[in-house]
């Protein structure tokens, strides 16, 4: 069983208004272009009619309504071009947080602004909170076109291990003040409760020529059969082959790939379960929470 599966589920869903706003923000480019084209036709027709009306007859409800339609469609078309065809693809985009995988840094129902321009001129860095397209194996039934947001833990060339609730990068322990543990209701646990939270260890291992995530309980050398999870496609392997996978030496993050984990370490279905993300699937860096107003802050 995947030890993160029960915690990968989102709590009660957002309101219909929130979902509508999120759908608009994700509107496919083809729909944006089609909508702008329709509104442009409406705007041209209303403009031509308004021009045909003699100045001394330009009054009344009908003329006022057409003038409003002309001005409104003009503004919407320009806004659509600027926001959806320039700002969203190349600049910034808003994202809705639907789950608790980043508690306490990001909470359910937060809205964040992601900077999509920054990684056109620089590479992602350790500790960045990043929006990305997840591997297919990370998506659950019904999720569809879903973006993930996690913290960047490993960049190309890093040797990453998670042992006894401690992150090791290139053999050295990493201080992670942002990490939390939660109960099933996403309440943050006191640090005194953390030792009682079950948590599998993790490493990357090369399996059949591929770098795959491996989770295990305890000391592999003394208990090689205590398997938590090896990527799903290998879950049905025979015990001997499973032991070989678990006893394989940890390997480094390959070129062009990145490893992510959630700040809520026992409540995040992340790279420990589904592996690595290619550079091409990285969307942008989270910069700040802009809604709700009480949560305004930079995300670091």
Alpha-carbon distance of 138 to 66, in angstroms, equals 50
Token pair, residue 258, equals 């990145």
Closest CA to 135 of 40, 229, 212: 212
Task: State the pLDDT at residue 223.
Answer: 44
Question: Is-cis flag, bond preceding 300, omega within 30?
Answer: no
pLDDT, tens only, 16-56: 666 666 667 667 777 878 888 898 898 898 888 888 888 77
**Cβ pair 286, 98 in contact under 8 A:** no
Residue 225 has pLDDT above 50, yes or no: no
Task: Report the range out of 9-18, 39-48, 114-123, 245-254 with the highest average pLDDT.
Answer: 114-123
Quickly state the pLDDT bin for 7 (edges 50, 70, 90): very low
Alpha-carbon distance of 177 to 163, in angstroms, equals 17
Task: State the pLDDT at residue 297.
Answer: 94
Alpha-carbon distance of 104 to 84, in angstroms, equals 31
Task: State the pLDDT at residue 196.
Answer: 93
Alpha-carbon distance of 197 to 165, in angstroms, equals 9
The secondary structure of 192-216, three-state, reads HHHHHCCCCEEEEEEECCEEEEEEE
Mean confidence (pLDDT) of the chain: 83
**Cβ pair 191, 104 in contact under 8 A:** no
The residue assigned the tokens 């609730």 is 165
| Residues tagged active-site | 101, 150
Count other Cβ atoms within 10 Å, centred on residue 3: 17
Question: Is-cis flag, bond preceding 292, omega within 30?
Answer: yes
DSSP secondary structure, 159-185, as one string: -EEEETTEEEETTEE---TT-B-B-TT
**Cβ pair 254, 234 in contact under 8 A:** no
pLDDT, tens only, 85-94: 666 666 788 8
**Cβ pair 212, 204 in contact under 8 A:** yes
Residue 226 has pLDDT above 50, yes or no: no
**Cβ pair 250, 212 in contact under 8 A:** no
Token pair, residue 34, equals 């089609």
The whole-number average pLDDT for the span 130-136 is: 93
Quickly state the pLDDT bin for 1 (edges 50, 70, 90): very low
pLDDT, tens only, 140-196: 777 777 899 999 999 999 999 999 999 999 999 999 999 999 999 999 999 999 999
Q: Model pTM?
A: 0.75
In 27-137 the beta strands, taken as DSSP E runs, fall at: 92-96, 111-115, 129-132
Count other Cβ atoms within 10 Å, centred on residue 161: 16
């Amino acid at each position: 069983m995947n030890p993160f599966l029960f915690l990968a589920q989102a709590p009660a869903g957002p309101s219909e208004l929130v979902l509508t706003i999120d759908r608009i923000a994700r509107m496919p480019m083809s729909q944006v272009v089609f909508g702008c084209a329709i509104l442009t036709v409406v705007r041209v027709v209303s403009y031509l009619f308004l021009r045909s009306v003699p100045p001394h007859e330009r009054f009344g409800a009908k003329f006022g309504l057409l003038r409003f339609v002309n001005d409104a469609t003009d503004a919407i078309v320009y806004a659509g071009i600027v926001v959806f065809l320039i700002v969203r693809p190349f600049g910034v985009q808003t994202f809705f947080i639907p789950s608790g995988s980043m508690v306490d840094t990001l909470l359910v129902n937060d809205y964040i602004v992601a900077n999509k321009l920054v990684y056109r001129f620089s590479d992602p860095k350790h500790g960045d909170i990043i929006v990305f397209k997840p591997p297919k194996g990370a998506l659950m039934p019904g999720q569809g076109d879903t973006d993930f947001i996690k913290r960047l833990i490993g960049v190309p060339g890093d040797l990453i291990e998670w042992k006894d609730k401690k992150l090791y990068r290139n053999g050295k322990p990493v201080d992670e003040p942002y990490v939390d543990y939660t109960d099933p209701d996403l309440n943050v646990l006191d640090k005194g409760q953390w030792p009682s939270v079950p948590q599998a260890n993790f490493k990357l291992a090369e399996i059949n020529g591929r770098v795959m995530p491996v989770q295990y309980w305890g000391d592999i050398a003394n208990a090689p059969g205590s398997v938590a999870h090896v990527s799903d496609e290998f879950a049905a392997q025979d015990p001997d082959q499973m032991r070989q996978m678990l006893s394989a030496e940890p390997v480094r993050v390959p070129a062009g790939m990145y490893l992510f984990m959630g700040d809520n370490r026992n409540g995040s279905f992340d790279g420990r379960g589904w592996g690595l993300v290619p550079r091409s699937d990285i969307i942008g860096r989270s910069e700040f929470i802009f809604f709700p107003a009480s949560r305004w802050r930079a995300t670091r």
